[in-house]
Structure 1
Amino acid sequence: MNATPATRHVPVARRGLLNIADAAGVQVRCEQGSVWLTLDNDPRDIVLEAGDAFHTDEHGLMLVYGLENSTVSVREPRRGLGQALRAMTRLSLQPA
């Protein structure tokens, strides 16, 4: 187990989606733009603008949706970087 925090900067396109399969211990910081976060079984809507951050210890799916072209940093302190990166996937949403 790697105890050192691992941070990755991830571009999230406008209307793009970042899927974090297990959000426990994850911190998402909006570096540029704005994003909307939602957590599985959590009624809150969380909007981050540049400079804002959100952290959760809850296990479950976290979705990060680009309200505009954005960059987020994802810090995962509890798992090794490789494991954390495998837990994240990016999807591109097409207009309806």
Structure 2
Amino acid sequence: MQVRCAAGSLWITHDGDCKDVVLGAQETYSAERKQAMHLFALEPCVPELEFRDD
């Protein structure tokens, strides 16, 4: 899965992983894990999600 923050800021965390990710506007994160991923808006934001068939 790929997450892009088109505007604002976004906090991403995965179950069982202590490493969190914070995205600002126009930044992208590619998740390689199968664990549940949680997205939280740190301010009003526009998240874009892309699902892959890997």
| Rg (Cα) greater in structure | 1
Give the percent of matched residue pairs that are identical in Structure 1 and Structure 2. Answer: 31
Work out whether 1:35 is the aligned partner of 2:10: yes
Work out whether 1:66 is the aligned partner of 2:41: yes
Q: Report runs of 4+ in structure 1 exceeding 2 Å deviation.
A: none
Structure 1 unpaired stretches of 5+: 1-25, 80-96
Structure 2 unpaired stretches of 5+: none
Q: Normalised by the size of structure 2, how large is the TM-score?
A: 0.91
In the TM superposition, residue 41 of structure 1 has moved relative to its aligned partner by 1.1
Give 3-state SS (helix, strand or coil) of 1:74's partner: strand
* Match runs of 1:83-94 below 5 Å: none
Output the aligned Cα RMSD.
1.2
Give 3-state SS (helix, strand or coil) of 2:17's partner: coil
In the other structure, the counterpart of 1:13 is none
